[in-house]
Structure 1
Amino acid sequence: MLDASQNAACPAHAEPDHPKVKAPKVGILLSNLGTPDNYDYWSMRRYLNEFLSDRRVIDYSPWLWQPLLQLIILTKRPFSSGAAYQSIWNEKDNESPLLTITKAQTAKIKTAMQDRYGDDVIVDYCMRYGNPSTKSKVRALTEAGCQKILFFPLYPHYAGATSATANDEFFRALIEEKWQPVARTVQPYFDDPAYIDSLAQSIERAYADLEKKPDILVCSYHGVPIRYLMEGDPYHCQCQKTTRLLKERLGWDDTEIKTTFQSKFGPEEWLQPYTVEEVARLAEAGKKNIAVCAPAFSADCIETLEEINEEIKESFEHAGGEAFTYIPCLNDDDSHIAALSGVIERNLAGWLE
């Protein structure tokens, strides 16, 4: 917990009754998607309601969407989503894997930043949906004396439904601060050489542990409606570039790697090919041994541990696939932490040297 009273003092030349001011700090606030507090019905309903009510995620008219959400979707989906979360839940710490991993990432980045900048920085994390909320963490940082905050959505690729909504929530939190800190947000790092190298290393390690090299690597990215691409969202193009750079770093040709998209929701057409359908097609085409990675996720979560490693795997095996290897997200791997720390250091230029 941050100590808001630490190093507080009356400013020089001020009157004795002037309010004490904390020693100025720079805050680094990492943000991830979010997590329910538990997998029971009401915890899931609260979480899904916050998530699916976000106009960046579902941009249909509230007059049409909210009755459908409140009366139909949120009466049923908390049960199925809760069962999915229960299958991957960290029972030891009573939290989702995303929260566990985000804590570990934050701890390592905090060590790296303090080794680099000393006590001039405070590193913390928040969630866009669920707890700890962005608002609570912005308040804690400002109360601890952070006059500058670098806000870092932990998404390699920009999308309105991820990076933008995280930034929205950050700016909404700033509205409520009496002494508003100077703020910066971090741009996407989908083509950062250190990030690409970290991805490649994770794949090389995974392949080295296999008896036989997979026929193809499927890079499965979270999907969005194709309409978003047509309206100017750069997410699709950034995903394609990550796959291309990864292929070049690995020294592979086009037949060894493929881009797909997962997690389709609702009636609209989404970015294609859909991962769940493509892995089945690959099996039917004779690709009986595949590997799947998820470059758009900075930490393993429900979409990777349950959707990829259970649902998508089942689709592949049902179509005749024989060997399915899921390559975990980069999580708190040291090369990933070094890549993220490098992004942070570049974005702190002019604030800290």
Structure 2
Amino acid sequence: MTAEAATGQPQQKSGRIGVLLVNLGTPDGTDYTSMRRYLREFLTDKRVIEWSPWKWYPILFGIVLNTRPQKVGKAYETIWNKERNESFLRTYTRNQSELMAGRLADLPGVIVDWAMRYGTPAIGDRIQALKDQGCDRILLFPLYPQYAAATTATVNDKAFEKLVRMRWQPALRTVPDYHADPAYIDALASSITRHLATLDWQPEKILASFHGIPLAYSQKGDPYYGQCIETGRLLREKLGLTDEQLVVTFQSRFGPEEWLQPYTDKTVENLAQNGTRRIAVLNPGFVSDCLETLEEIAEQAAESFLHNGGEKFTHIPCLNDGEDGMRVLEKVVRRELLGWV
């Protein structure tokens, strides 16, 4: 007699391993409703905005969510993947998941899926889907080379939140940061070298622009700043550049408080005003190109540099779903699956 027949209950699948790639998130569309829904989920995350809700929510619901959806929606429209009617972050993350599944084809019983911390597909839904396919072990991979509470930790939080509600929990491993992994540094260096080889000019300076966080978060113990600085140092060493030739900066600040410095936008403006004529900018902290790289850097920063006297500006794409980038992600996944496969 089978277990199902003996108990009268459906036999649940088990014995498989899930790999869940998770990126920040994306709105489902550029319209007001989609943008407001996305921004509300993002900006009510206490890991992202650590202010007291009594202080923050009147501003968020009274001002931000009534004005910012239109502005951000217009920005998304300039970099929207029109062919698939979605953000490029969604396109690249899906591609990374599909390519990872192919690269792990030699590991029987491993299933690869993807999710977003904000928006869809939701982390909890994809954990459930993996469990329903028989995954009793899941490797959760927040796609951030550098650790920050507002990125890596909130992905982990959301996954654990799902586990709290599950009767039969899968075993869960979380992938740590890989900001100094030689494969990651090699891939970044290779992407810079290849991109610059396509130009008929050479930059006087290269900016490695990372997403910023409020300075207070760093002062409370968040390791993000030090890891970004270390990535920049290792990248300089790999390329044989000086501190003056490759500069670490921080972008995307929001609100009135002080964030990590130097600020990317101010640095770009000051370089142009002080005689630097040719610069290149890359975004080592982003696994995939998105609004912050395609619109904030490739469009806004470029416009600012040229407007203030610069002559040549180039944005070096993220690793995305290219061979170098996939090699890094695969190395990290295989390392973290040791003992399970």
Q: Please report the TM-score for the alignment, with normalisation by the length of structure 1.
A: 0.94
Aligned AA for 1:48? L
Other-structure match for 1:190: 179
Which residue, out of 235, 239, 249, partners 2:238? Answer: 249
SS across alignment from 2:209: strand
Question: Percent of aligned pairs with the same residue?
Answer: 51
- C-alpha contact 1:11 1:21 (8 A) present in aligned 2: no
Other-structure match for 2:256: 267
Listed as ranges, the matches of 1:106-255 within 5 Å are 106-114=97-105, 116-118=106-108, 120-255=109-244
- C-alpha contact 1:142 1:181 (8 A) present in aligned 2: yes
Q: CA deviation at 1:35?
A: 0.3
Distance of 1:204 and 1:171 partners within structure 2: 40
- C-alpha contact 2:79 2:295 (8 A) present in aligned 1: yes
Other-structure match for 2:275: 286
Distance of 1:318 and 1:205 partners within structure 2: 27
SS across alignment from 1:217: strand
- C-alpha contact 2:20 2:114 (8 A) present in aligned 1: yes
Distance of 1:117 and 1:98 partners within structure 2: 27
Distance of 1:333 and 1:196 partners within structure 2: 15
Q: Which runs of 5+ in 2 are unaligned?
A: none
Indicate whether 1:351 and 2:340 are aligned.
Answer: yes
Listed as ranges, the matches of 1:33-44 within 5 Å are 33-44=24-35
- C-alpha contact 1:153 1:166 (8 A) present in aligned 2: yes
Q: Which runs of 5+ in 1 are unaligned?
A: 1-8
Total equivalences in the alignment = 341
4+ residue runs of structure 1 moved beyond 4 angstroms? 9-12
Distance of 2:169 and 2:107 partners within structure 1: 23
Distance of 1:211 and 1:160 partners within structure 2: 41
Indicate whether 1:79 and 2:74 are aligned.
Answer: no
Other-structure match for 1:3: none
SS across alignment from 2:70: helix
Listed as ranges, the matches of 1:290-305 within 5 Å are 290-305=279-294
Q: CA deviation at 1:21?
A: 2.6
Cα RMSD for the two superposed structures: 1.4
Indicate whether 1:323 and 2:331 are aligned.
Answer: no
Deviations 1:314-352 (A, max 9, x none): 221121011000000000111111111111111111111
Distance of 1:96 and 1:259 partners within structure 2: 27
Other-structure match for 1:6: none
- C-alpha contact 1:10 1:21 (8 A) present in aligned 2: no
In structure 2, relative to structure 1, the CA distance for the partners of 1:289 and 1:145 (3 Å cut) is same
Distance of 1:341 and 1:46 partners within structure 2: 33
Aligned AA for 2:256? P
Aligned AA for 1:222? H
